[in-house]
Amino acid sequence: MSKTIIRTLNLKDFTHGKAEERRRFAEEFAAGLMDCGFIILEGHGIDPSLINQNYTNIENLFGLDLESKNKYGQISGGQRGYTGFGKEHAKNRTVGDLKEFWHVGQELPKGHALYEDYPENVWPEEIPNFRKDSLSFYRELERVARNMLEALTIHFDLRQNFFSDMIHEGNSVLRMIHYPPLEPHMDPEAVRAAEHEDINLITLLCSATASGLELLTRDGEWLPVEAEENQIIVDAGDMLSRITNEVIPATTHRVVNPKGENTSRYSMPFFVHPYSSCVLDVIPSCVTEENPQKYPAITAGGFLHQRLVEIGLIKK
Ligand SMILES: O=C(O)CCC(=O)C(=O)O
Ligand SMILES: [Fe+2]
C-alpha cells in the first residue's frame, strides 16, 4: 500500500512566480487534490495577528453563557449566527456533533443586486471587535481562495477568471467552531465532527488550536492532518467534485475526540461557495470516453439547499 503524502505548497510561487513556477504550483495543487484531497499552504499572506485576533474573539464568544449565545441562534436555518451543540449531524447520521459554531456570511451593502440572495449577518454585541475582525478575515480568505482556484484553471485549461467569476460576491461562509472538552454526560457515540465531505468548492482551514482532523485516504485509512501555526489546510468539496466530473473527488474527513489532554478545540473553516444562481456544470476537459458526464447542471443555490436538508440544518 502506498503511503499518502500531504503536499505543502507556497502560494508565493503562484502569486509572485514566473510562468514555470506558476504552472508547477498549479500541477502540484491539482495532484494533491486528486491524490488525497488535501494540501497544506504557506505563503498565503494572511497576517498572523488577524488569525490570532479572531481566535481570541471566538474564545470570548463561546465563553458567553448559553442564554446570551442563544439570542443569536435559529437564524436562517443556522446559516448565520450561532448554532448550539448537537444540531448538525453528518449526512447519514442522527447523533449530533460535539460542537457549537458561528457562521459569518457574505456582507454586501443594502441595495446590492445580490443582497436579497443571502441571509443577513448577525453580530454579537458582547464582542465589539467581532464584526470588523471576522469581515477582514473573510476578505483575506476570499483572496486566498481566488488565487488557489485560479491555479486550477491552469490545470483544467479554463479561462483565468472561470472560478473567480463564480465566487465573486459569492455565498462563502466562515464557520467559527468550538469543540468543548469531553464530559461524562455526552453521548458515547458522538464525535467532534463525524466523517463527511464539505459541500462547497474548496475549504480553507487555518491551523486549529488542537489536533484531531483526519482525512480518509484513497486506501481507506484515516490519516491525521497536522498543520503548523500560520499554515492553511486546503481541501476539495462536493461542488468541485461535481464540476470536475469527480476527477477531483470530495475527500471524506472528520474530527476525532481528544485522546490525550481533554481541552477545548477551536477551528475556523472557510467554505468557498459560488453565488447562488451560478450554474454548476461539468468542465468539458473532465468529460472523456472513460469518464462520461456524471451530473446534469444545477445551480449552486439548489445544490446547497439539498445538502443543508441532508445534514439537518434546514427543513425540506
Ligand atoms: O474543525 C476542523 O478542523 C474541521 C471542521 C470541518 O471539517 C467542517 O466543519 O466541515
Ligand atoms: Fe469539513
Give the per-residue pLDDT at 314.
72
Q: Cα separation of 70 and 271, whole Å?
A: 23
CATH number of 44-310: 2.60.120.330
pLDDT exceeds cutoff 80 at 90: no
In the numeric block, the cell 444545477 is attached to 298
Q: The cell 479572531 sits on which residue?
A: 54
How many angstroms separate the CA atoms of 6 and 15, rounded?
21
Q: Is the pLDDT of residue 223 over 60?
A: yes
- Report the share of the chain in percent with pLDDT over 90: 85
Atom of ligand 1 nearest to the CA of 265: 1
Distance 111 CA to ligand 1 centre (A): 33
Specify the pairing of strand 279-280 against strand 213-216. unpaired
**Residues for the chain: how many in total?**
316
Would you state the pLDDT for residue 184?
A: 84
Among 38, 100, 255, 265, name the best residue to mutate to test ligand 1's pocket (greatest count of ligand atoms within 8 A of Cβ).
255
The preferred substitution site among 100, 176, 177, 211 for testing ligand 1, maximizing ligand atoms within 8 Å of CB, is: 177
**Which atom of ligand 1 is nearest the CA belonging to 205?**
3
- The ligand 1 atom at the shortest distance from the C-alpha of residue 208 is 3
User: Ligand 1 mean position to 290 CA, how many Å?
Assistant: 33
Q: Which residue CA neighbors atom 8 of ligand 1 most closely?
A: 269
Give me the DSSP letters along the chain: -PPP---EEETHHHHTS-HHHHHHHHHHHHHHHHHTSEEEEE-----HHHHHHHHHHHHHHHTS-HHHHHTTBSBTTTTBEEE-TT----TT--SPPS-EEEEE-----TT-TTGGGSPPP---TTSTTHHHHHHHHHHHHHHHHHHHHHHHHHHHT--TTHHHHHHTT---EEEEEEEPPP-TTS-TT--SEEEE--SSSEEEEEPPSS--EEEE-TTS-EEE----TT-EEEEE-HHHHHHTTTSSPPPPEEEPPPSSS---EEEEEEEE---TT-EE---GGG--SSS------EEHHHHHHHHHHHTTSS--
What's the pTM?
A: 0.96
Pocket probe for ligand 1: among 267, 271, 307, the residue whose CB has the most ligand atoms within 8 Å is 267
Residue closest by Cα to atom 1 of ligand 1? 267
pLDDT (tens digit per residue) in 17-74 = 999 999 999 999 999 999 999 999 999 999 999 999 999 999 999 999 999 999 999 8
> Domain map of the chain by residue range?
44-310
| Closest C-alpha residue for ligand 1 atom 10 | 198
Could you give the CA distance from residue 95 to residue 202 in angstroms, rounded to a whole number?
26
Ligand 1 pocket (Cβ < 6 Å) reads: 175, 177, 193, 198, 205, 208, 213, 253, 255, 267, 269
**122-126, 175-179, 189-193, 231-235: segment of lowest average pLDDT:** 189-193
Ligand at shortest distance from the CA of 250: 2
The Cα 213–Cα 93 span in angstroms is: 19
Given a cut of 80, whether residue 218 has pLDDT beyond it is: yes
Q: Which three cell numbers stand for residue 124?
A: 454579537
Per-residue pLDDT tens over the stretch 190-208:
899 999 999 999 999 999 9
Query: What one-letter code names the amino acid at 55?
Result: Y
State in Å: Cα 83 to ligand 1 middle: 14
- pLDDT value for 22: 98
Mean residue pLDDT across the chain: 94
| Alpha carbon of 195 to ligand 2 centroid (Å) | 8
| Interface pTM, i.e. ipTM | 0.99
**Range of weakest confidence among 174-183, 193-202, 209-218, 307-316:** 307-316
Closest-CA residue, ligand 1 atom 3, reads 213
C-alpha 269 – ligand 2 centre gap (Å): 8
CA 176 to ligand 1 center in whole angstroms? 9
Region 123-138 average pLDDT = 98
Residue 213 CA to ligand 2 centre (angstroms): 9
Query: Which residue did the predictor score with more confidence, 279 or 1?
Result: 279
Residue nearest to atom 9 of ligand 1 (CA): 269
